[in-house]
Chains A and B, each alone.
Chain A
Amino acid sequence: MAALLELTDVTVRFGGLVAVDGVSLTVSAGEICAVIGPNGAGKTTLFNAVSGNVAINGGRILFQGEEIHGLTPHQISTKGVRRTFQNGGLFPHLTALENVLVGLHARVDSDILGLLLGTSAAKRAESAATARARELLDLMDIGHVADHLASDLSGGQQRILEIVRALATEPPLLLLDEPAVGLAPHMRSQLVAIIRRLASERGIGILLIEHAIELVMSVADRVIVLNYGKKVADAPPAQVRADKAVLEAYLGHA
């Protein structure tokens, strides 16, 4: 099967520092791929390169066979690569519903003139989007907080809301930057269930960064280990777990 996302020799430099050093990897549809590694290994930089927030200095990034490096973040997002942010990328002063509606932005085909004139087509497009956003929240069981401000939600609800928002346009590829950080154990297992379901039922390719090793081992089909910007392992979790060098250097003595 052709890869959904394909990175070839991607390099990112910040001045003299090589943050990502010739990394190649692929993510297929329906595959859950985890990127791990110690702090400063270049995980988030790699993500930012894929989502267009950081320019790459070498290599290529293909999404569905099409070059996406050099495009702006909103263009890459529109092509179907959506992401969440490490420190919560929600809009805190908007409600959960409004957050999802922003996620749907590109799918709401109301034009400015129609809106100003109050045409029924524009109104219909807007209210259809609202109904769709409510439906998406209901699907993930957070419909009851739709009209609450995002900043008022619990940590777990915020994390799920960010995923709902990223998935609103049904993208083929989802990048999750530390989705489980700060979550209580039962919320983590709920998150794992959601991630699995997205991959298996909807065939979404998922690339995730995570520090919680148990979560990575239980959810990922494949684990990529980065160290000092270089890829040092790329294998199924069991194999990575057995790799002595990886264990000692990057996971500690687990």
Chain B
Amino acid sequence: MADAPKSAAPATKAPPAWRQRRYLFWLIPLLLLPLPFYLGQYKQYVVNLILVYVPVGVGFNIVVGNLGLLAFSNVAFFGIGAYTSGVLALKLGWPWWATILPAGLMGGLVGCIAGVPALRGVRLFYLAIMTLAFGELLRWVYIRWVPVTGGSFGMSVPKASINVFGWPLPTEGDKFYAFLFLAVLMVVLTDRLLRSRFGRAFMAIKGNEQAAAAMGIPTDRYILLAFAWGGFVVGVGGSMYAALVGHVTPIAFDLAELILEFAVVMVGGLGSLVGSVLGAAIITAAPEFFREWPGFQEMLFGVLIVLVILFLPRGVASLLARVHPIFIDRYYRD
């Protein structure tokens, strides 16, 4: 190997076959389609809640996992999405489906605002505490801005408004299809973004900000973009939450909620899109399994989280990655 490398380019290798089999992922939503025919209202509600937490986890993971910034403003994006849908439906009489995009856009806007300190070079614990404070500040706005938000008691989303192009969604099973569509859409769009130069820019900033800039990446712009996209996706999740629960209150967006959302990311796998989806399913469904041991429910839930973080620091997604390389996140397209 001591001599100079040959300058003739060998034929470039074909990408591994498993990478071309990513369309197999479409089987997951397809197999879920008949679910409402088998599940009762309550179990369907839990499944729907999982679908709400898919975009919530996906958006959070973009900022903390892919961009790698310790920003805890996720609950602010979630809340603003839910309140945007609630206010538009209750005060302006919009149908729910029309409020989804505004909820996402408001989430993205709030994401940009939450990302501003990061542009000033605020990092680590300082960024963590600032973004935490930002989330609490918004919660204070929900509580105090009574004419719009309904204050501490929150607001009810009119049942009639929960429809898609006038098609009502009276049962959990009906909501399921709308939610499945939105959750899949958010995952697919995020996957496209991450497996492009945009996602690679996020990952580069996470790895070495100075080197990222030296590669010609305008780091400020990409930090803001990650916050905006994360906020958008989580805002859509907030809109879904408003439709699912039918009631938006400030208490739903407190620190306990933030910890739950952070658990989704950590248990699923930091920086892994597959992990965000898995984390949403595990964190939302696990308490239901522990229902058989009343009184121990919260404790068992806590133990589960501790065990996963202890033995799988890269989350449950890292287990799957060992099973088959198709589950490994890669940031390019062949």
* A residues with CB within 8 A of B: 51, 53, 72-74, 77-78, 82-83, 85, 89-95, 97-98, 101-106, 108, 110, 112, 115-116, 118, 122-123, 126-127, 129-131, 133-135, 138-141, 143, 146-147, 165-166, 169, 186, 189-190, 193-194, 196-197, 201
Interface SS of A by simple majority: helix
CB <8 Å contact, A101 and B197:
yes
Whether B12 pairs with A131 at a CB distance below 8 angstroms is yes
CA distance A126 to B198 in the complex (A): 11
* Contact residues in A for B12 (Cβ distance below 8 Å): 131, 134-135, 138, 143
Q: Is the pair A93, B207 in contact by a Cβ cutoff of 8 Å? A: yes
* Pairwise interchain contact A74-B219, C-beta atoms closer than 8 A: yes
B197 touches A110 (CB 8 A): yes
Q: What is the interface size of chain B, counting residues whose CB is below 8 A from a CB of the partner?
A: 43
A116 to chain B, nearest CB (A): 5
Q: Which of B200-232 contact A (CB under 8 A)?
A: 200-201, 203-204, 206-208, 210-219, 225
Residue B294, interface by CB 8 Å: no
| A102-B200, A102-B204, A194-B4 known; A143 vs B10 contact (CB < 8 Å) | yes
A/B interface sample: 22 pairs, CB < 8 A: A53-B214, A72-B213, A72-B218, A74-B214, A74-B217, A90-B211, A91-B207, A93-B206, A94-B203, A101-B197, A105-B216, A110-B196, A115-B196, A126-B197, A129-B197, A143-B12, A186-B1, A189-B2, A190-B3, A193-B3, A193-B4, A193-B5
Neighbouring A residues of B216 by C-beta, 8 Å:
74, 77-78, 105-106, 169
Chain B: which residue is nearest A192 at the CB level? B4
Which residues in A have their C-beta under 8 angstroms from that of B16?
147
Residue numbers in A under 8 Å from B218 (CB-CB): 72, 74
Asked if A94 and B204 sit within 8 Å, CB to CB, the answer is yes
Q: Tell me, in angstroms, the Cα distance from A101 to B332 when the chains sit together.
A: 8
* A143 near B332: Cβ-Cβ < 8 Å: no
Residues of A within 8 A of B211 (CB): 85, 89-91
The one of B225, B271, B333 that contacts A127, using a Cβ cutoff of 8 Å: B333
Residues of B within 8 A of A (CB): 1-7, 9-10, 12-13, 16, 189, 192-193, 195-198, 200-201, 203-204, 206-208, 210-219, 225, 271, 330-334
> B192, A115: Cβ atoms under 8 Å?
yes
- A105 contacts B201, CB within 8 Å? yes
Report which residue of B2, B12, B210, B214 has the largest number of chain A beta carbons within 10 angstroms of its beta carbon: B214
Q: A102-B200, A102-B201, A138-B10 are in contact. Are A130 and B332 (CB under 8 A)?
A: yes
CB-nearest residue of chain B to A118: B192
Inter-chain contacts of B334 with A (CB < 8 A): 127, 130-131
Q: Which chain B residues lie closer than 8 Å to A166 at the CB level?
A: 214
Q: What 19 additional pairs, Cβ within 8 angstroms, besides A91-B212, A110-B197, A143-B12? A: A73-B210, A85-B214, A89-B210, A89-B214, A92-B207, A98-B203, A98-B330, A105-B204, A106-B215, A108-B196, A115-B196, A127-B334, A129-B197, A138-B12, A139-B5, A143-B10, A146-B13, A166-B214, A201-B7
A97 with B332: in contact, given A74-B218, A83-B214, A138-B12 (CB under 8 Å)? yes
Note all chain A residues with C-beta closer than 8 A to B2.
186, 189-190
Contact for A112 among B198, B203, B207, CB less than 8 A: B198
CB neighbours of B213 from chain A (8 A): 72-74, 77
Complex: chain A residue closest to B189, CB-CB: A116
Are A94's CB and B192's CB within 8 A? Answer: no
Instruction: Identify A91's interface contact among B195, B203, B332, B333, CB under 8 A.
Output: B203
Contacts of A139 in B (CB 8 A): 5, 7, 9
Q: How many Å lie between the Cα of A115 and that of B4 in the bound state?
A: 39
